[in-house]
């Protein structure tokens, strides 16, 4: 009987450990388990509350979103990734002129200590957003929707940090976007942020710090504004002090693309 009880206790502990592992797995494990139509329905209909059920415009908007998400699912992203390795397009060779640059959409993010703020930190004329005493002249924003794209992000972020390590007017953010419903619930979100808290890294010595932040919630319209389709690749945006996109890259950095990024960032530091 004693041996049986020990066996049952060990089995319960193993089940609890397996449950925790599944709970804290990143989005792709949860997303991959759903077929595209089911995924689209789950990510779309949950945002249409009861007060919008009689709103024809809201219903049409949600119907269009559902159709869009059903046409583009996880398996389409995976197939595309296998073809080009996440390199959906080549990075800009030259900086985009200020008059032709578009604004990066505002997004709310959380640090691992629970502090929330909005990106990008930018200036509107003489007024500085978010009550910040200083606004960076150049900001590299690296977006990652799935864990698989982290190596792609590192291929841009690490050389960028090394090149501008001593520049106070340069910022570097790595943004992990988490849209799985369960992980966005407040208790789970707080637990995840606590788990993700890490000791200070030696890589963050110097004025330019690699800041890792997280964005929880629905990113559908954010992605639409930036024309982001494939969630398995990484996206990199170089912004000026007004939050305008002056350069962008995709997937992993190539030896030809890195000098372009560094050169464009240097030009932003010289702009008046």
Residue 115 lies in a domain: yes
How far is residue 248 from each of residues 46, 156, 179, 220, 266, measured CA to CA in Å?
Answer: 32, 11, 23, 20, 15
pTM as predicted = 0.72
Higher pLDDT: 17 or 64? It is 64
Within this chain, do residues 40 and 156 fall inside the same structural domain, yes or no?
no
Predicted pLDDT of residue 166: 93
Within this chain, do residues 127 and 21 fall inside the same structural domain, yes or no?
no
Q: Which of 74, 106, 133 is the last residue of a domain?
A: 74
Residue 84 lies in a domain: no
Percent of the chain with pLDDT over 70: 68
Domain enclosing residue 181, as ranges? 98-270
Contacts 24+ apart (CB under 8 A), 32-38: 32/74, 34/74, 35/73, 36/69, 36/70, 36/72, 36/73, 36/74, 36/75, 36/76, 37/70, 37/73
- Give per-residue pLDDT as tens, 204-223: 667 888 899 999 998 989 99
Question: How many domains does one find in the chain?
Answer: 2
Higher pLDDT: 159 or 200? It is 159
CA–CA separation, 186 vs 216, rounded Å? Answer: 10
Within this chain, do residues 266 and 133 fall inside the same structural domain, yes or no?
yes
Contact 72, 65 (CB under 8 A): no
- Give per-residue pLDDT as tens, 223-272: 999 999 888 899 999 999 999 999 999 999 999 999 999 999 999 999 98
Residue 6 lies in a domain: yes
């Amino acid at each position: 009987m004693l041996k049986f009880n020990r066996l049952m206790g060990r089995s319960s502990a193993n089940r609890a450990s397996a449950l925790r592992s599944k709970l804290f797995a990143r989005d792709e494990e949860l997303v991959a388990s759903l077929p595209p139509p089911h995924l689209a329905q789950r990510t779309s209909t949950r945002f249409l509350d009861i007060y919008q059920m009689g709103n024809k415009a809201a219903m049409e908007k949600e119907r269009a979103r559902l159709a869009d998400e059903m046409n583009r699912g996880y398996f389409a992203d995976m197939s595309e990734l296998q073809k080009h390795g996440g390199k959906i397009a080549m990075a800009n060779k030259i900086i985009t002129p200020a008059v032709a640059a578009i604004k990066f959409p505002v997004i709310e993010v959380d640090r691992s200590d629970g502090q929330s703020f909005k990106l990008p930190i930018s200036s509107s004329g003489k007024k500085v957003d978010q009550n910040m005493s200083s606004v960076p002249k150049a900001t590299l924003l690296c977006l990652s929707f799935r864990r698989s794209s982290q190596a792609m992000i590192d291929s841009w972020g690490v050389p960028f940090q090394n090149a501008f390590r001593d520049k106070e007017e340069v910022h570097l953010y790595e943004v992990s976007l988490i849209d799985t419903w369960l992980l966005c619930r407040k208790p789970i979100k707080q637990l995840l942020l606590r788990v993700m808290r890490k000791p200070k890294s030696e890589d963050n010595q110097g004025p330019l710090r690699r800041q890792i932040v997280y964005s929880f919630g629905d990113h559908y319209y954010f992605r639409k504004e930036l024309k982001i389709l494939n969630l398995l690749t990484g996206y990199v945006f170089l912004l000026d002090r007004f939050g305008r996109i002056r350069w962008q890259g995709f997937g992993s950095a190539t030896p030809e693309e890195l000098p372009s990024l560094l050169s464009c960032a240097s030009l932003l530091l010289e702009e008046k």
